[in-house]
Structure 1
């Protein structure tokens, strides 16, 4: 058992706090990881606000890079000293999705069996089974994806973001949306996930990439990461603009990275006949949508939601790290600021105001 500093959400909507927690030694199939960096993600804010559940207190943080310190019995894929990216899709290999050869949809992903606790023994619910706003955390070994190649200390802040939001956006374009070379793509909402979808479309070879947002600064960032055109939808109708930029037809793929009824309707109307719509923005609980079913039928194509960008960490993380090291994927651009464990509450405020793509907590040196 180890005592470490960590950030918890004790009750709904209360400010997060830095406190001491107990982290057990790893049991069978588990790994103890020293955290290097962890991004501040919208999902952590959902936990704080009670949008994920009411199993308070929560140990927040999940977009992390780290170093394996110890492993339990039966662990062979990682060993102490390995630098890793943490993920929340540690596939089980036994569920119906895994048995169909679709482990990226695993319905029974693994987490650590043991619980981390407060000093008084109160069990903590780790965000997405990770809990990485901490000096150390305990995870299932399958949640560790080994980082190959030599990285500078500063680069871990960037690659750690692959653990959630950035991969969700890139995967929405490449995996779920299956962007092909020469296609047109529109992305509605250019926060961290939407901007990552823009970068993913560029990486996949799309030749027309239209970024849509109401913030000119976000649009400028999207343009720097691959958008060929931008549309400020506070002053211009997004659907008309996308159609105009695609010869009147609409885009081959439209990605909704916001997740509200209005933006989903825009995505649906802005795609070409037989085009694709991908929803990667997370809707608030209870969000509803009304659409004419005859239009769904007559427009053809497909409507999909992107679960974690349909990402398989063991397949996708190494590929994306390689693209980063080759200079084809600018992960550094997503790191807006580097902060400490005590700065997470202000980081939530900056994220809510749209002032950052990602604040990244630096916990330890590589």
Structure 2
């Protein structure tokens, strides 16, 4: 029997979000209903609200979440009722050309629930990233649930569902950072600071944080940066070179996603170094650079989708490291809020006052 619960929707482009009653159907084959315990407020949710993803309104927002499996549909074997899970938007299919080539982290046909959650009048909702977790309960495909240690703080665990994993994976998976590598990260919000934490976990040194905001640079130090550069005071490329023996960093991660920051990342890396783009550009952005520089400097230019993660591999490992005190994931939780506070949390996030606001349910 379907259930009625409270959820946060974006009804039209740019309009303030609303807390409304939504209908969650019983899970069908391969589907599960998860009782959401915590969901981070991610910039992607704001982008959905403002029409930057598509125009399939109304959206059920929220995707960076953890919770407990409440009911399961026919044929579900991946999780059981009562499992504590992190929700993910990479439920690999195992059949697409990427999966068949042994690269499931690039899966091109990930699973979502087949059924739709709705408003009480029957209007179908589009769940953010196929999840929709600013709600007391949500319907997802079983592959979108990754079981982790139930002793983990739900507010902390849920952040691996998107931003923190994106940043850590940009360093550890996409960038291939290893012990002794020099790493520079441009942009020290949630994703950038997660990249710094990932670089620290991998044993990188130095780890150079770059931003225009003193508060964000302080957060970066707390999460593992060995050096900071205030981009309002110093030339970024020259400053990174000065801190790396005049050469540039082995890996430079652009967590902003603007032409000027990507160009800084390109020239701030060492010869044969790696640039990783994890910040998301907008469609109108363009870049003009000498082609010969791409040839003469060698190395690798990469984009990182979801930190090139495999949830079943990465989430449990990172939660275990957090539980062991080796990964300070709790530092990413700036405040705990309610469902009715999401619109204000968007403003707080946009102003750069938090790493993550987390909705607790």
* Runs (5+) with no aligned partner, structure 2: none
The 5 A counterparts of 1:261-340 are: 261-340=259-338
Residue 251 of structure 2 aligns to a residue in which SS? strand
| Secondary structure at 1:107 match in 2 | coil
Q: Matches of 1:291 and 1:305 in 2, distance apart?
A: 18
Compare 278-287 and 38-47 and name the one that shifted more.
278-287
User: TM-score, normalising length from structure 2?
Assistant: 0.99
Counterpart contact for 2:84–2:150, Cα < 8 Å: no
The answer for the alignment partner of 1:229 in structure 2 is 227
Q: Which residue of 1 aligns with 2:70?
A: 69
Q: Which residue of 1 aligns with 2:108?
A: 107
Gaps of at least 5 residues in structure 1 are: none
* Corresponding position: 1:344 with 2:342: yes
Q: Is 1:51–1:285's contact at 8 Å kept on the other side of the alignment?
A: no
Local SS of the residue matching 2:185: strand
Q: How many residues get paired?
A: 360
Moved over 2 A (4+): 148-151
Corresponding residue of 1:135: 136
1:256 to 245, 248, 254: 254
List aligned pairs for 1:176-187, cutoff 5 A: 176-187=174-185
Aligned-pair distance for 1:150? Answer: 2.6
Map of 1:153-172 to 2, 5 A cutoff? 155-172=153-170
3-state SS of paired residue (1:68): strand
Distance (whole Å) between structure 2 residues aligned to residue 145 and residue 291 of structure 1? 42
Provide TM-score, normalisation by structure 1. 0.98
- The 1-side partners of 2:86 and 2:192 are apart by 21
Residues 113-142 of structure 1 show CA distances to partners (whole Å, capped at 9, x for unaligned) of 000000100000000000000000000000
Deviates more, 1:278-287 or 1:163-172: 278-287
Secondary structure in structure 1 of the residue aligned to 2:36: strand
CA RMSD of aligned residues (A): 0.6
Deviation at 1:338, TM superposition (A): 0.3
Q: How does 1:40-119 map to 2 (within 5 A)?
A: 40-119=41-120
SS of the equivalent of 2:188 reads coil
Q: Distance in 2 between matches of 1:27 and 1:291?
A: 51
Alpha-carbon shift at residue 50 of structure 1 (Å): 0.3
User: Residues 350 and 356 of structure 1 are in contact (CA less than 8 Å); yes or no, is this contact kept in structure 2?
Assistant: yes
Q: Do 1:75 and 1:141's aligned partners in 2 also have CA atoms closer than 8 Å?
A: yes
Paired position in structure 1 for 2:146 = 145
2:187 aligned with 1:203, yes or no? Answer: no
Supply the distance in 1 between the matched residues of 2:85 and 2:197 (Cα, whole angstroms): 23
Contact 1:257 1:279 (C-alpha < 8 Å) held by counterparts: yes
Q: CA deviation at 1:328?
A: 1.1
User: How far is 1:149 from its partner?
Assistant: 5.2
